[in-house]
Structure 1
Amino acid sequence: MTDQAVDNGGTKVSAQGQRPAAGSAPTESQFLGRTRELKELRADIERAGLDTLSGRKAPRARVLLIAGKPGSGRTALAEELVRQVAESYPDGVLRARLTEPDGTPVPTERTARDLLTALELRTPAGASADDLSEALREALATRRAVLLLDDAADAEQVDALLPDRPECLVVAVSGGPLTGIADVRPCTLGGLDTKSALELLTRHTGSVRITVDPRAAEGLVEECAAQPAALELAGRWLAARPQAAVADLAKHLHTENEEGTPTARVFRLTYASLPSAAARILRLLSLAPAGLVDPHTASALAGCSVNAARTTLDDFVALGLVRTVDSPLPQYEVPGCLLPLLRALTETHDRPAELQLARARMLERTVRLLVSCRAITETDSSPAREKLAGMPRALRFPNPRAAEDWLRIRRPALLASARLAVADGELDTLARRLMAALVRAMVAHFGTQAAAPELYGIHRLVLDVAERRDLPREKAAALLNLGDLDAQTGRTAEALGRYRAALDAGREANDPYATGRAMESVGGAHQELEDWDRAADWYGRALAQRLARDERVDAARLYGRIATVHTYAGRYGEALRGWRAALAGHRKNGDVGAQARALSEMARVQEYAGRPEESLRTCQEAVEWARRAEDVRLQAALQLRLADTLDRLGDSTAARLHRGAAERMLGDELPESVTAREQDANACEIRSASEED
């Protein structure tokens, strides 16, 4: 963007070598003016700080502040500065926006996570803001990088992200001072110099209209207070009207009695010239999540066709009312300085019921796109194919790759849409459908582990709605999902609390599935905490419910989990009884593979109990069942178990035969440098029932 670039909202992150997700960074040929400011900012990078003057090494990164009102070109100046100094920071440029389009500060947790993701570092789901900030500082401790923190609301936001490394640079953009950050170097923006302002107008109007009446052009610059955003709108207004004189526009703005900033006055002039249908679409764009719009969003908001919406959006781009986003898919953004003006217009011209209907249409369209996005992955499912065939062509994806690309590109807007829908509180039914569809689509395309951080946030939103609407069944489901994610990231105590709350909600809803699942999860949490007695007790409660409901598969599995806990506790007799019960259950269910695994665990317990002969016989039986189940890795692991047992019984020749058989089964899966005993420990260890579950 040029120096006339206007600020946008939402949180976007990009790494060096990529263009910012919210729009293109300025290039040298595009940028205008600000020569003095750039020179001062670059000098501030090298200037000694207070710590250096006092003889101490600077403890943190240098912070440069670019302060100015929205529409002053502050973001464009920051981008140009970063472009000029990027070569001195070989570890890249990270960008993040710290304020939502509606002015709400972005939580530090989300910003830090996005920055870590830009560094290609995994972040645990549900981690606190402090943990993520610390992880970011650790990641930057060995890097020489630039952080561009745009639209900072206050000093606390910036301070939480500052690297503890003087070799890094932070460029912060804000509307005012960042009081509280030591040794910050501020640069306050006013208007452009007259020469640059006139050149900006010339880019849109051509040189003739400026040179034939230079006084009028200078008067127009004065009416726009030399503000880049106002000049951009004025230049595009003139470009759309080749017959209009610069003097006419300057005179109109001079006689304009309405109050407001220069940007607001020029915007009102542009808005007044729009047809009523286009003006309505423009107003409704203020409802777009994260300020990001695609043709589907605009189509749903306005209730028009997708093609008509895209044509209108392109017309808005020509007028400077929206900007295109550098993206493989058609995507646009509403300039941040125009969003308050659009919201004011919606309050004046649109009834609340109409706005609510527009939001509902947008959410419904998003749900249908997400359903289509997931259904394209289920190519072997007849219901999925029928569902896809029944959708309009505009809502269908040509292949799974196209659906995944759409989901990845639109993910920030989709997550923002879920947050806004929950915060609205009036469309909770649609919000619940949206979140359910979003979870299913993300799991289908990215997998549970890769999408875990986003899923954690969605489940918290589901919990908010469930508590607000008093929906105990959905509350239980959300708590169970959150508990699982907490448990996966090592926060076992937090997971235990969520599982207990889920149990209460499941009982309130009279939901046997949620109740049984919660009791089993409570047992699993106690097992992780090595509280074997409580773990066995809770597994026993879950087992009693499964038996009462004649749920044989789950009952057999729970017998195994109880047996595993007894094994950990050293109660081998009870453990063997548990595995025998599990084995009997798997036989009744006809699960050959589960029988083999149960026998293998029985052999393990018998070995622990000092009964190698029994362990050998059980292990041989397990090998036969694993062969029937065609589970090669389990067969190999059991052969290694047999080899170890035979070694202990003194039959080394038979042990070598079994070990050789295991190696032949696994083939290339075994590293050549690993000994036979290490293979048993690392590659072929039989997992316990708790791990299998």
Structure 2
Amino acid sequence: MTAEFGVLGVVEARIAGQPVGLGHARQRSVLAALLVEVGRPVTVDQLIDRVWGDDPPQRAAAALYSYLSRLRTALTEADIKIERRPGGYALTADPEAVDLHRFRRLVALARGAPDRSAAEQITEALQLWRGEPFAGLDTPWLSSTRELLLGELFAAELDHHDVLLRLGRHSELLPRLTAAVAEHPLDERLAEQFMLALYRCGRQADADEQYRRIRHSLAEELGSDPGPGLRRLHERILAADPTLTAAITTVQVAAPRSVPAQLPADVRAFTGRDSELAALDRSLSQGDEPPLTVVLLSGTAGVGKSALAVRWAHRVREAFPDGQLYVNLRGYDAEQPVAVGDALSGFLTALGVRGQEIPPGVEERAGRYRSELTGRRMLVLLDNASSVEQVRPLLPGTGSCLVLITSRDALPGMVALHGAERINLDLLPVADAVGLLRRLIGDRVDREVRVAEDLAAACARLPLALRIAAELAAARTDVSLEELVGELSDHRMRLDLLDAGDPRAEVRAVFSWSYQNLPADAARVFRLLGLHPGETAHVEAVAALTGTGVGEARRLLGVLVRASLAQAARGGRYGMHDLLRAYAAELAAEHDPSIEREAALTRLFDHYLAGSVSAMATLYPAVPGAAGDAEAARGWIEAERPTLAAVCTYAAAHGRHRLAIDLAGTLFRYLDAGGPVAEAVTVTSSAVSAARALGDRRAQARALSDLGRLHRRQGRLSESAGTYGQALALYAGLDDPAAEAVVLRNLGSVHWRLGDYRQAADHYERAWALYERLGDDAGQADVSVRLGLVDARLGDEAQATKRFQAALELAGRTGDKFSEAYVISLLARLSGEPAELDRAAAHLERSLAVARRNGDRTAEAYVLTDLAAVHARGGRHAEATAHLRRALVLHRRIGDRASEAEALNDLGQALRAIGETGEARAQHEQALILAREIGDRYEQERAGEGL
């Protein structure tokens, strides 16, 4: 199979057009180092230096060999080898398969080619860039190589400018030169190109002004004068030298605006859906109310949402003369859903934005995307969306566009917040279902109309199942439709997994046609895989589940993939469509004894618990500085996180209560540090129910305490207070003052949010008494801060200052640099002294670096908010605004709604301070809506003050 590699952007590999899982950042850095030198050996010492820099771990060589082994495995299918040679390790691949080397070859060819060919070759070379080289990877070697490559890119762009100028395409080039000069104001070659383009566009005075500007900049910045080339060009422009236009070899024409046409091919034999098509047609005539027309097609899997969307999009494409954008978001696929940033990058590329011009952040990309669509009449088709969050950044900001979304989910947020019109797809009517079979099978249907109706009913009138059945019928011309229906009906009696009348029940029978042809060992893996509670499973988990070795598991999974009974996902993971999974589970119940199924699940759950314990011990070692690959541990948890949540839910529901408690307790610290809050709630709720079932009051109290914290972050304040109250009642009888103090402290914070400051202070005081009795300096420091915040809110800043100073002394004893930095920032904000504010900012910057290094998104968001407050107090509102925008992104990604409301209000204040009153008001309005929704009285008060 053919392989392609990319380093001019995110490091990636594709085999036969499909992405290859390359693992975590260190492992991708190894591949990047080999790709830059493709075909040439790189020594072990060089690789270690390029991957870790000046501070490699003690077992760097062992880690390197592990990464090389994993990369070899990932690239096996394409026959790409990473060979050990006398001079080191070399990746054997055609240099043309690597975008960097293809870029260099095209640029070299262009420099000796005629202008027209050169323009095409450099354009092709520049289109290979998808962003900054090695995006997301950061070592000294990668950083220096990145700078060198960006220099090559700039040189190629300058060559491109020269070629386009010689071809007379100066009008087309002028906007690009304007932006380039702003970015490189001291580059004389670029200035010459800009001046020449201005002159040829009839803007002699602007060309003269550009010369004066760069002459002044060179004198101010470098203490030098323009070079002879630039001076000579200026003289010729002033003299209106006719030779400046004589070299133009083509008639100047403006470059056409990019008109993307990304729709997939229309669906063969599309049948029915007349009423739904008519409803879609009506969306075209809604005018400009609402400003953006959004239509949502929803329905069960296999009902034909994507087919309908693509058919209608082709029907009306002429109504969108500026083009059609399409992305399959894979919200329900076995593979990871498409990241919003990746979808935006693809759209921007289609809209003509060059790779190096695509912003790095999701918010910035979304803003550029909306800007590019302004004034365009375009259709945007977002296929297979799983959530509002996956869709929202992809919505245009203009009423000239129409957005069509398909999803299995009803996505009520799209209707409530964005005015989407929902069209629900039901089963095909019998006539249309038979009509689809007729178009797929042919006149056999007309000869057996009644049997065809029975076949449609057996397929539940779902288009997906109908197409599978039709394909089988077409391939088995010697078998009558009546015989086919007989086979299907016979299996349906055995395989009906759902309640009577559920249309999906019959679909499972279709899968039996593939299952019956499997070898016995592969059939067993298929059945047991149906017991797996997650969407996907890594090959190592499948090995544990089936009791086989990893190599054997991978081989048998390959058999299932080829039979279309499993899908290969990224990173060595495999999954099943939900219907296949249900079918496989029923087969397991039928063919595998209960004792074997339970043993398989026990092996699987032991694998996940052991992996979680190991990863958490690496990320949060009992002994600071203990050895371990933290990045690999974090990568493992991130990859397995949805599955671990599913395991907790399954364990609590199926009598494995201790597993649910242990796994939830093991994972909570990681999930609380930045995992999605909704997922953390699922895991922790499972632990609560499992502890209740066991009658384990201590485990129940701990899980309730964790759950109360999560509810608070979700903004479910009343529910949080109730949950904390249950935990407090349990701890009162367990003689655990440390845990009781934690609950009291957190319950106080809930009352703070509810605007009941006296009640909050009462809980804080009770927590303080317990911490004092225990001699817990860290606990006392934390509660002192919270009491100080109450004092400040009630107007007693002198008492607040005393509390903060006491907290600072206590935090200093514990060595908690995060807490120390936070308290210093609170004191600085109260005093407003510039020196104190600078000191606080320095402490917070160190905390921010630690949070980012640890991958702790929650801590990062909190520190950014504190840092913004310090900057705002010191009058540096632009810096505060930038930090708050980043914090807002993190809070939304995590699902911390209470902190999101706080950040919105802070952002509103910072924007107002720099004169952006309109946007400031919009931020406060959002904060007010959110604070009212979650019952946060404190942020409601702040939003009201801002408005």
* TM-score bin (small chain): 0.5 to 0.7
Residue 247, structure 1, aligned to residue 472, structure 2: no
Equivalent residues in 2 for 1:396-435 (5 A)?
A: 407-424=637-654, 426-435=655-664
State how far apart, in whole Å, the 1-side matches of 2:818 and 2:521 are. Answer: 64
Q: What residue in structure 1 maps to residue 551 of structure 2?
A: 307
Partner Cα distance (1:433, 1:174) in 2: 43
How far 1:313 sits from its partner (Å)?
Answer: 1.8
Counterparts of 1:106-505 in structure 2, within 5 Å, are: 142=397, 144-150=402-408, 157=410, 161-162=414-415, 170=422, 172-175=424-427, 189-190=433-434, 192-193=436-437, 196-197=440-441, 229=465, 232=468, 247=478, 256=487, 259-261=490-492, 267-268=511-512, 270-322=514-566, 324-325=567-568, 327-374=569-616, 385=627, 407-424=637-654, 426-442=655-671, 448-449=673-674, 451-488=676-713, 490-505=715-730
In structure 2, distance between residues paired with 1:237 and 1:318: 21
Paired letter, 1:678: G
Q: Which runs of structure 2 are paired with 1:530-541 in the superposition (5 Å)? A: 530-541=755-766
Q: Conserved in 2, the CA contact under 8 Å of 1:33 and 1:193?
A: no
| Residues 246/517 of structure 1: CA separation in 2 closer, same or farther (3 Å cut) | same
Question: Which amino acid letter does the alignment assign opposite residue 520 of structure 1?
Answer: R
Q: Is the 8 A contact 1:93 1:147 kept in 2?
A: no
| Corresponding residue of 2:201 | none
Tell me the distance in 1 between the aligned counterparts of 2:630 and 2:775.
40
Equivalent residue pairs, number: 533
Contact 1:237/1:319, CA 8 A, preserved across alignment: no
The answer as to 2:542 corresponding to 1:542 is no
The equivalent of 1:46 in structure 2 is 281
Q: Secondary structure at the match of 2:406?
A: strand
Secondary structure of the residue aligned to 1:146 is strand
**Following the alignment from structure 2 to structure 1, what is the Cα–Cα distance between the partners of residues 535 and 878?**
53
Equivalent residues of 1:198, 1:221 under 8 A apart:
no
Q: What per-residue deviation string (whole Å, max 9, x for no partner) do you get for residues 260-309 of structure 1?
A: 45866664454444343332222222212354344234322221122212
The alpha-carbon deviation at position 515 of structure 1 amounts to 0.5
Aligned residue number for residue 661 of structure 1: none
**Do the aligned residues in 2 keep the contact of 1:64 with 1:171 (CA within 8 Å)?**
yes
CA distance in 2, matches of 1:320, 1:99: 14
Structure 1 range deviating more: 513-522 or 542-551: 542-551
Verify the 8 A CA contact 1:295 1:309 in the aligned structure 2.
yes
**Superposition RMSD on alpha carbons, in Å?**
6.1
For residue 221 of structure 1, report the CA deviation from its aligned partner: 9.9
The structural deviation recorded for 1:602 is 8.4
TM-score (norm 1): 0.58
Contact in 2 for aligned 1:86/1:146 (Cα 8 Å): no
Deviations 1:324-348 (A, max 9, x none): 25x4323333344444433332232
CA contact (8 A) 2:781 2:807 kept: yes
Deviations 1:426-473 (A, max 9, x none): 112222333344445556xxxx24633322332233222233333333
Could you tell me whether the CA contact under 8 Å between 2:538 and 2:573 is conserved in 1? yes
Q: 2:745 aligns with which of 513, 520, 534?
A: 520
Deviations 1:93-142 (A, max 9, x none): 68687999xxxxxxxxxx9xx99999979xxxxxxxxxx98998999695
Contact 1:65 1:173 in 2 (8 A): yes
**CA-to-partner distance for each residue in 1:396-440, whole Å, 9 max, x for gaps?**
xxx66666555545544443333323322x112222333344445
Counterparts in 2 of 1:499 and 1:98: CA distance versus 1, 3 Å: same
Give CA-to-partner distance per residue, 1:645-665, whole Å, 9 cap, x none: xxxxxxxxxxxxxxxxxxxxx
Q: CA deviation at 1:27?
A: 8.6
Letter in 2 for 1:274: L
Aligned equivalents of 2:842 and 2:326: distance in 1?
44
**Is the partner of 1:678 in helix, strand or coil?**
coil
Partner of 2:914: none
Distance 1:39 1:302 in 2: 48
1:520-539 C-alpha deviation (Å, 9 max, x unpaired): 22333344445444333332
Shift of 1:542: 1.9
CA distance in 2: counterparts of 1:197 and 1:545, whole angstroms = 77
1: CA distance, partners of 2:679 / 2:844: 39
Corresponding position of 1:206 = none
Q: 1:27 to 1:238 in 2, by over 3 A?
A: farther
Q: Counterparts of 1:296 and 1:86 in 2: how far apart (Å)?
A: 48
**Deviations, residues 184-230 of structure 1 (Å, cap 9, x unaligned):** xx99544744564489xxxxxxxxxxxxx9x9xx9x99997696648
Gaps of 5+ in 1: 1-17, 20-25, 101-110, 122-131, 178-185, 200-212, 240-244, 389-398, 609-618, 637-668, 684-690
Q: What's the offset of the Cα at 1:557?
A: 4.8
Letter in 2 for 1:330: G
**Residue 503 (structure 1) shift:** 1.5
Q: How many Å separate the matches in 1 of 2:491 and 2:614?
A: 45
- Judged with a 3 Å threshold, the aligned counterparts in structure 2 of structure 1 residues 58 and 599 are, in CA distance, closer, same or farther, namely closer
Distance across 1 between alignment mates of 2:790 and 2:533: 48
Unaligned runs of 5+ in 2: 1-17, 20-261, 345-361, 364-386, 493-505, 846-866, 881-901, 903-947
CA distance in 2, matches of 1:360, 1:253: 40
Structure with the larger RCO, 1 or 2 (CA within 8 Å, 6+ apart): 1
Q: Distance in 1 between matches of 2:665 and 2:819?
A: 32
Q: In 2, distance between residues paired with 1:357 and 1:295?
A: 18
1:478-502 per-position Cα deviation (integer Å, ceiling 9, x unaligned): 3333333444455544433333322
Q: Percent identity, aligned pairs only?
A: 22
CA contact (8 A) 1:373 1:407 kept: yes
TM-score by length of 2: 0.44
d(CA) in 2 for partners of 1:305, 1:541: 55
Aligned residues of 1:224 and 1:231 also touching (Cα < 8 A) = no
Cα distance change on mapping 1:224 and 1:98 into 2, 3 Å? same
* AA in 1 matched with 2:415: L
Shift of 1:64: 5.4
Q: CA deviation at 1:587?
A: 8.2
Q: Secondary structure at the match of 1:518?
A: helix
Q: Deviations for 1:4-32, whole angstroms, at most 9, x for unmatched residues?
A: xxxxxxxxxxxxxx99xxxxxx9956954
For the 8 Å contact 2:701–2:730, the answer to whether it is kept is yes
Rounded Cα–Cα distance in structure 2 between residues aligned with 1:265 and 1:535: 60
8 Å contact from structure 2 (residues 465, 510) kept in 1: no
What do the CA deviations read for 1:605-648 (whole angstroms, capped 9, x no partner)? 8x89xxxxxxxxxx99x97xx99xx8674799xxxxxxxxxxxx
